[in-house]
A and B are shown apart, each in its own frame.
Chain A
Amino acid sequence: MSKKKVIKKILLVVLVLVVIGGAYGAWMYFQPHRDVQDTETDYSLKASDIVQEYLTDNQAANEKYLAADGESKVLEIKGQVSEVSEDYEGNTVVLLKSDSAKAGVKAFFTQETSGEAKQVQVGSTITIKGVIRSGAAYDEDLEMYEDVVVEKSKVIKK
């Protein structure tokens, strides 16, 4: 092979690598958010159970449910509707909590799922699916119990 041909070949390989690298970079950069509702459920549990788990051992529960990259466990949670409200964006928030419980599960709905969630009856038992963001704990500065926060929720059983 002549020197020229070798250089040509090397340049071609470099070009291919640059294109692949660029495409990979762009794919990483523009990759869409995970669709929580399309993601398989990691755990199905009662609102009272996950609250209890957090109040018993906060650290162990965080290790079980929270992921390092923020794509934490997808949960199906069954509980009694204690309150239906709205977040700052106008989306529906449903608190699943029994009357005697110290804390509950606060489910935040999306623009698409809020309409249906708004219709749930206080006192009824429903099941929602969503991604966990944080656990329940007593906060001594707030002087109250904080609920488990679940976002991207959808009502899956009424």
Chain B
Amino acid sequence: MKNLKVLSIALVAVLGLFAFTTVADKLVSSKTHIKFFSTTPAEDIEANNYAAVSTIDKSTGKFVFSVPMQGFEFPKSLMQKHFNQKKFLHTSKYPKAKYVGDIKNLSDIDFSSDGTYTANVDGEMTIRGVTKKVTEDATIKVSGGKVSLETKFFITLADYDIEFERGKPSKNIADKVEVTAKAEYK
């Protein structure tokens, strides 16, 4: 009987340890900044979003960014309306964009040791219901146990069926927009 008690305590302890490791393996960030930048001779357009959520799984290298599209803030109200409307991002139907990637060189990154690492991420971006492959390099910084990430890449709007045949935005928005994403993890 006593053995059983010891055994069950040990079992609970081991299970508890497992539960703890799973939690500790995943870094979560709700402190993020995504910037969208488009430049044409007509004008430069910048939009900012602070409401995305990101995770990095330290054991598998899975890297995720989920972005509420209506959270993009433009300097001008009209630009923001264009961005959201059906012809462009259609955010009422597709409220979120998502990037799901794998860190290919996970063994090069030591999350427990201070330093700056380059992660080669291979993954898929889903915008407006269209999924495309996006390969990018991200800079992962570990400082005093805190992990942060920064990455910059280009998105070709036509890849996601975002096109302006006519009208003002076609001259004013670049074919390729620069996206900068930053996150601080807990």
Within 8 A of B (CB), among A39-73: 62-63, 66-72
| 12 A-B contact pairs sorted by A residue (CB < 8 Å) | A68-B84, A71-B81, A72-B70, A72-B92, A87-B31, A93-B30, A106-B51, A133-B95, A139-B64, A141-B98, A146-B53, A149-B51
A149-B66 contact given A34-B77, A134-B95, CB 8 Å threshold: no
Chain B residue nearest to A83 in the complex (CB): B30
| Proximity bits, A64-103, B CB within 8 Å = 1, else 0 | 0011111110000000000001111101010000000000
How many Å lie between the Cα of A151 and that of B77 in the bound state? 16
Q: Which residues of A contact B (CB under 8 A)?
A: 28-34, 62-63, 66-72, 85-89, 91, 93, 106, 108, 133-135, 139, 141-144, 146, 149, 151
Number of CB contacts from chain A to chain B under 8 A: 97
Smallest CB–CB gap between B151 and chain A, Å?
14
Residues from chain A with Cβ under 8 Å of B90 in the complex: 68
Chain B residue nearest to A91 in the complex (CB): B50
**When the two chains form their complex, are residues A133 and B55 in contact, meaning their CB atoms are under 8 A apart?**
no
Chain B residue nearest to A134 in the complex (CB): B68
A89-B96 contact given A34-B77, A68-B84, A149-B71, CB 8 Å threshold: no
| Proximity bits, B109-126, A CB within 8 Å = 1, else 0 | 000000000000000000
Smallest CB–CB gap between A94 and chain B, Å?
12
**When the two chains form their complex, are residues B98 and A70 in contact, meaning their CB atoms are under 8 A apart?**
no
How many Å lie between the Cα of A127 and that of B72 in the bound state? 24
How many Å lie between the Cα of A29 and that of B81 in the bound state? 11
How many Å lie between the Cα of A31 and that of B31 in the bound state? 30
| Proximity bits, B80-110, A CB within 8 Å = 1, else 0 | 1101111000111101101010000000000
How many Å lie between the Cα of A146 and that of B68 in the bound state? 10
A70-B26 contact given A133-B51, A142-B55, CB 8 Å threshold: no
**When the two chains form their complex, are residues A85 and B31 in contact, meaning their CB atoms are under 8 A apart?**
yes
Smallest CB–CB gap between A80 and chain B, Å?
18
Within 8 A of A (CB), among B45-73: 50-51, 53, 55, 62, 64, 66, 68-71
Chain A residue nearest to B33 in the complex (CB): A88
Within 8 A of A (CB), among B11-47: 26, 28, 30-33
How many Å lie between the Cα of A91 and that of B100 in the bound state? 27
**When the two chains form their complex, are residues A135 and B95 in contact, meaning their CB atoms are under 8 A apart?**
yes
Is the CB of B76 closer than 8 A to any CB of chain A?
yes
Is the CB of B182 closer than 8 A to any CB of chain A?
yes
Smallest CB–CB gap between B148 and chain A, Å?
10
Smallest CB–CB gap between B18 and chain A, Å?
16
How many Å lie between the Cα of A127 and that of B98 in the bound state? 30
